Chain A
Amino acid sequence: MKKTGVLSIFAACTFFAASPLLAADAGGDPAAGQRKNTMCIGCHGIPGYKTAFPDVYSVPKLGGQQAAYIVKALQAYKAGDRSHPSMRAIVAGLSERDMADLAAYYAADAVKAAAK
């Protein structure tokens, strides 16, 4: 009984410790995402940077964005449901794991962004 009790507490702690993490990063690893974002920073890492082709407009801010939404957006580029040529070329080289990791990295600022 005692052992079961300890196990239950352990299980509960693991659950509560893991649940906000899962909700926040959709299964990705933010540290891994940071190592994979060299293709992103040339546009998304520069404040006010604009795409020049095919239209001129500011590239979206990603810091604090929802992880699951970032993954969905990347998948939409891969599927052709979004058309931006640079993004379509870049996602062609991303695995599902890469997408989840990148999403987790950019989403990691959600709390900070909400407080601003």
Chain B
Amino acid sequence: MMKRIVLGACLLLAASAPAVAGDADAGKKKSTTCAACHGPEGNTPTGPDFPRLGGQHYDYLVKALEGYKSGARKNPVMNPLAANLSRRDIEDLAAFFSGQKGLVTKY
């Protein structure tokens, strides 16, 4: 009985949130370039077609930046910026922006 409860709790914990490998504090220090367009916390974009990043899922942000870096996702502004980011930078930035309040899941 006890074993089952422990196993269940472990499964729940494992499933509940994507593992955040990045360091949010380091990400904040690296985010000055991002802030110019997305706002300091990723919530006040300076153009109508720039996305808000605050509160976005960590693993989605990683996926998006990796896509811009590899060229799988095309954008004339983001491709050259992401090309200069290491995997570590991407994880740190994703940790910082995903940790901000902002975007919500809407049904």
Contact = CB atoms under 8 A, between A and B. Distances in A.
Contacts, number: 103
A109 B104 contact: yes
Interface of A: 23, 26, 41, 44-48, 50, 55, 57-69, 71-73, 76, 81-83, 106, 109-110, 112-114, 116
Contacts of B62: 57
Q: Which residue of B16, B49, B106 has the most chain A CB atoms within 10 A of its CB atom?
A: B106
Interface size class of B (residues with CB under 8 A): 20 to 34
Chain B interface, DSSP helix/strand/loop, else mixed: loop
Contacts of B59: 50, 57-58
Contacts of B43: 113-114
Contacts of B45: 66, 69
A55 B63 contact: yes
Contacts of A116: 55, 101-102, 104
